[in-house]
Amino acid sequence: MTGMYDDRFYEELRTGISWLSEAIAFLSEANGVESYEICLLKNKVEPEEAKAIENAFFLNARNANSLVDAEIERIVIDTFTKENPRFSWRMSRDVLMELWTYQVQRYDALKSSKD
């Protein structure tokens, strides 16, 4: 009996989180607010995928602007595969490049604020 309750609770929790994510994405789009985090929510990016993007960016931040799309994709997928050998990469290149661009903008803003 407890197992059924736990399963139902987690199902309801996942549904609630999904609705919240969709509401945040809708409201941000309606108000013209865009950010890395909103892009993650809007595209339902898995935590492992986001972590791979962030780790790959951290390791390549200094030359992030000079990398071409194919290089970025290869670097991120290699990072993801090393960290998650049992899973395959499923994110589209367009979403990846949008997230990478947000990371570059954040890095550039941080650099310019220190100057």
pLDDT tens by residue, 12-61: 988 998 899 899 989 998 999 999 999 999 999 999 999 999 999 999 99
The encoded tokens of residue 71 equal: 């290089």
pLDDT band at 113, cuts 50/70/90? confident
Amino acid at 53: I
**Is the whole-model pTM more than 0.85?**
no
Same domain membership, residue 110 and residue 62: yes
Q: Supply the range of the domain harboring residue 103.
A: 44-114
92 phi and psi angles, rounded to 5 deg: -70, 155
Query: Rounded CA gap, 60 and 29, in Å?
Result: 30
- Same-domain check for residues 29 and 74: no
> Considering the domain boundaries, does residue 55 fall inside one?
yes
Could you tell me if residue 38 is inside a domain?
no
In a domain, residue 39? The reply is: no
pLDDT class of 115 with cuts at 50, 70, 90 = low
96 confidence band (pLDDT: 50, 70, 90): very high
